[in-house]
Amino acid sequence: MPLLLAIVALPWLVSSLARRHLATTAARIGLLSLSGFCLLVYALPDRTAHPLPWTYQNLVEANWPSGVDTPFSEEYLGQLMDAPDQSRSAPSCSPGLGLGGDVIIVAFESLSWYHSSLLLDDSDGATPKLDALAADNAWWAQFLANGFTTDHGLIAMLAGQLPVPAVNRYRSLDVFEGYAGDWRALPRRLAEDDYFTAFITSGDLGFLGKGDWLQGLGFDHIEGHEQPEYEGQERFSFAAVSDDLLYGRVLNWLRNERPPNEPIAAFVETVSTHPPFIDPVSGVADERAAFRFADGALADFVANLDELGYFRDGLLIIVSDQRALTPIRQNEVAAFGSQAGARLPLVMLGDRLPLAGRQAVAGQMLDLPFSLDFYLTDEACREPGQGNLFTGQPPDCIYQPDGNQRSVIHAFCGSDTARIRMDGDRTRVIDGYLPDAERRIHELNRLRARLGIQEVNLHNVL
């Protein structure tokens, strides 16, 4: 629609201005030619791939309503709710490995494959220590995000829910609205087997209401930037201290504050590598330096855990919360194709881990709660189509809302890929092949419809 308006309005506007203010025919023709060239360039296919599209869009583009904000009609809502709901089918439960022990999940902020040399030879080489740890343990080459922001990652990995956007979601600050904890949430799953769960970050838990949402998921212990151990330390994004201090705090908690007679599951969210990528050592905005620092801090954390004897029974999972909020690179597109914005590193360490080396089977963030339940406890329940990271069972389909084109959801279903355009009742496949498309789109629409229509309280003004 913005392009159509430009095609209609620009020639008229330029012609009017030319007749009024330009005296010669040659000048008028020159101005019309220039405006025509600009319009032609604007009409070229958009080759930019950036999860923050308003950083390069014009004022009209950035604020123009997209299909993701199109509400469902009352008639279609009735059809959605009356039809059998396969997405809410009774979960299937089966015996787990029952390995027990502690688990720590480190969400390494913005960690992306272009930082690592494991898959991309022409990477930044910013995480050599993590790469070495991965090579000596287990790592996934086809692990996919279910979104493009931190809240998406947390919703998938902690709430166990697909972070499809509600109507007006991208114009709202209520990012966790509609994703309350139920049996799928990691803390609630593990509580049934007497696990003490903790969420530890050095960032501000008040941002976007994250702390309240985590409380609702059922975490037993939650702490952020106000932790007294950080008093007097230099602060960076979200009032966070640097990652080395965060890991030091986690180690202190493990040594002195964790419940002594209960297994623990701790989710550790780092911040140092959040844009604008300030290197804590130099204080300069330098992405590679910031990741080199975070890589070293993580390696020191692993070494300290090893000294504690943690890995004899404990499991450490290192995963990203999102691909970095930077333009997608050509080497990523060449290596990963349509998955370039979704592929993320995943590394696991533990002496009892029944896996080693490169794992080639596809996995997703949404698989993590069930997979951990399966690994740690005697029985785990899964939803239809869900994958298991520890058995190599791939998910039936992986969905990822697109950051660059906010009305698009990517679908990766085995060897089939598709792009789905969210557009209210007219939600449809616009590219590729989606197996059993009618049913899958119906289920995605039902998930979105349940979230309701969010309040518009965020506006792009660029």
pLDDT value for 83 = 72
Domain count, the chain: 2
The Cα–Cα gap between 320 and 332 comes to 16
What percentage of the chain carries pLDDT values higher than 70?
A: 84
pLDDT value for 81 = 83
| Statement to judge: residues 108 and 241 lie in one domain | yes
pLDDT value for 269 = 98
pLDDT value for 91 = 86
Rg (CA), the chain: 24
Beta strands in 36-123 (DSSP E): 92-95, 103-108
pLDDT value for 399 = 98
Last residue of a domain, one of 348, 371, 401: 401
| Statement to judge: residues 18 and 147 lie in one domain | no
Asked if residue 9 belongs to a domain, the reply is yes
Asked if residue 461 belongs to a domain, the reply is no
| Statement to judge: residues 53 and 99 lie in one domain | no
| Statement to judge: residues 118 and 175 lie in one domain | yes
| Statement to judge: residues 44 and 91 lie in one domain | no
Which residues, at least 6 apart from 205, have a Cβ–Cβ distance to it below 8 Å? Answer: 211, 214, 222, 223, 224, 225
User: Which CATH number belongs to the domain containing residue 289 in this structure?
Assistant: 3.40.720.10
| Statement to judge: residues 181 and 307 lie in one domain | yes
Task: Measure the CA angle with vertex 354, ends 352 and 357; round to 5°.
Answer: 110
The pLDDT tens digits for 346-387 are 999 999 999 999 999 999 999 999 999 999 999 999 999 999
Asked if residue 430 belongs to a domain, the reply is no
| Statement to judge: residues 48 and 91 lie in one domain | no
| Statement to judge: residues 220 and 295 lie in one domain | yes
What is the 8-class DSSP label of residue 205?
T
Asked if residue 272 belongs to a domain, the reply is yes
| Statement to judge: residues 55 and 113 lie in one domain | no
Its domain, for residue 137, covers 87-401
Asked if residue 75 belongs to a domain, the reply is no
pLDDT, one tens digit for every residue, the chain (462 residues)? 444 555 555 555 545 655 555 556 665 566 556 656 555 545 544 445 667 665 555 556 656 667 899 999 999 999 888 876 655 567 899 999 999 999 999 999 999 999 999 999 899 999 999 999 999 999 999 999 999 999 999 999 999 999 999 999 999 999 999 999 899 999 999 999 999 999 999 999 999 999 999 999 999 999 999 999 999 999 999 999 999 999 999 999 999 999 999 999 999 999 999 999 999 999 999 999 999 999 999 999 999 999 999 999 999 999 999 999 999 999 999 999 999 999 999 999 999 999 999 999 999 999 999 999 999 999 999 999 999 999 999 999 999 999 989 999 999 999 999 999 999 999 999 999 999 999 999 999 999 999 999 999 886 554
Asked if residue 347 belongs to a domain, the reply is yes
Computed over every residue of the chain, the mean pLDDT equals: 90
| Statement to judge: residues 50 and 101 lie in one domain | no
| Statement to judge: residues 53 and 100 lie in one domain | no
Cα separations in angstroms, 168 against 66, 329, 448, 456: 10, 29, 11, 6
Asked if residue 26 belongs to a domain, the reply is yes
The Cα–Cα gap between 376 and 194 comes to 11
| Statement to judge: residues 42 and 105 lie in one domain | no
> Which of 411, 456, 451, 457 minimizes the C-alpha distance to 435?
411
User: Does pTM surpass 0.75?
Assistant: yes
Asked if residue 303 belongs to a domain, the reply is yes
